[in-house]
Chains A and B, each alone.
Chain A
Amino acid sequence: ETGVTQTPRHLVMGMTNKKSLKCEQHLGHNAMYWYKQSAKKPLELMFVYNFKEQTENNSVPSRFSPECPNSSHLFLHLHTLQPEDSALYLCASSNRDWSIYEQYFGPGTRLTVT
């Protein structure tokens, strides 16, 4: 497997459920990101991790809880979500040592909250 992978690709969950999104990067990068893309809106940065440490939390509600156990893996734990949280969730990674701007994205998880 190469690049950035995300599982699951599609997820339907009720408002009382707890689920997790997983991201794995095989590029040797040291920074990882979670983005949210809602319909007709730009990609919104949610969280940034540099060398496993969270360096950015873009005012994200606490029902979204990120976890970065190592530089290759990133999780987004979801609980008691709202229907307006339905969106495409994208993971990305980059290498701070040469170009933090050129972020490499996974295919995304399409989340539907019912």
Chain B
Amino acid sequence: DQQVKQNSPSLSVQEGRISILNCDYTNSMFDYFLWYKKYPAEGPTFLISISSIKDKNEDGRFTVFLNKSAKHLSLHIVPSQPGDSAVYFCAASGAIGNEKLTFGTGTRLTIIP
């Protein structure tokens, strides 16, 4: 049973437009959420995170939104750049101090120049 789901395996967006990547979770005990980005032949790199006490966290071009009631989070990238083309993983963690991350299957984002 997959507790973190990324239902879109791929997404293509025009350069300069907004990219929106979605993630749903089923475990109401999750209280910390992260996005990772992965280029081919490299390991995932941490991008941005959000605690369940917030509904939005922003870092430059990247914003993560959390809707706890819907158990849904999204990553917005604006404006999208060619270097953003990568696979994006959503991850979630339970109680504070629990280092176990549960990952989604990833969404491949392609930015079209």
Q: Which of B43, B49, B89, B104 lies in contact with A107, CB distance below 8 A?
A: B43
Q: Are B45 and A101 in contact (CB-based, < 8 A)?
A: no
Q: Which of A4, A6, A45, A50 lies in contact with B101, CB distance below 8 A?
A: A45
A-side contacts of B101, CB under 8 Å: 43, 45, 101, 103
Q: Are B49 and A101 in contact (CB-based, < 8 A)?
A: yes
Q: Are A105 and B100 in contact (CB-based, < 8 A)?
A: no
Which of A12-20, A59-67, A68-76, A92-100 is the interface stretch?
A: A92-100
B-side contacts of A92, CB under 8 Å: 43
Q: Is the interface of A mostly helix, strand, loop or mixed?
A: strand
CA distance A92 to B44 in the complex (A): 9
Closest chain B residue to A92, Cβ basis: B43
| Chain B: interface residue total (CB-CB under 8 A) | 24
Q: Which of B43, B46, B104 lies in contact with A108, CB distance below 8 A?
A: B43
How many residue pairs bridge A and B at CB < 8 Å? 59
B-side contacts of A42, CB under 8 Å: 2, 4, 89, 102-106
A-side contacts of B89, CB under 8 Å: 42-43
CA distance A2 to B94 in the complex (A): 30
- Please report which residues of chain B, range 73-107, place their CB below 8 angstroms from some CB of chain A when the two chains form the complex: 89, 91, 93, 97, 99-106
Closest chain B residue to A41, Cβ basis: B105
Q: Are A48 and B43 in contact (CB-based, < 8 A)?
A: no
- Which 5 A-B pairs have CB atoms at the shortest separation, nearest pair first? A105-B43, A43-B103, A42-B103, A100-B99, A102-B46
Where the two chains meet, the residues of A that have a C-beta atom closer than 8 Å to any C-beta of B are 4, 6, 31, 33, 40-43, 45, 48, 50, 55-56, 58, 90, 92, 94, 96, 100-108
- Some 15 contacts from A to B, beta carbons below 8 A apart, are A40-B105, A43-B103, A45-B100, A56-B100, A100-B97, A101-B34, A101-B101, A102-B34, A103-B46, A103-B101, A104-B43, A105-B36, A105-B44, A106-B43, A108-B43
Where the two chains meet, the residues of B that have a C-beta atom closer than 8 Å to any C-beta of A are 2, 4, 32, 34, 36, 41-46, 49, 89, 91, 93, 97, 99-106
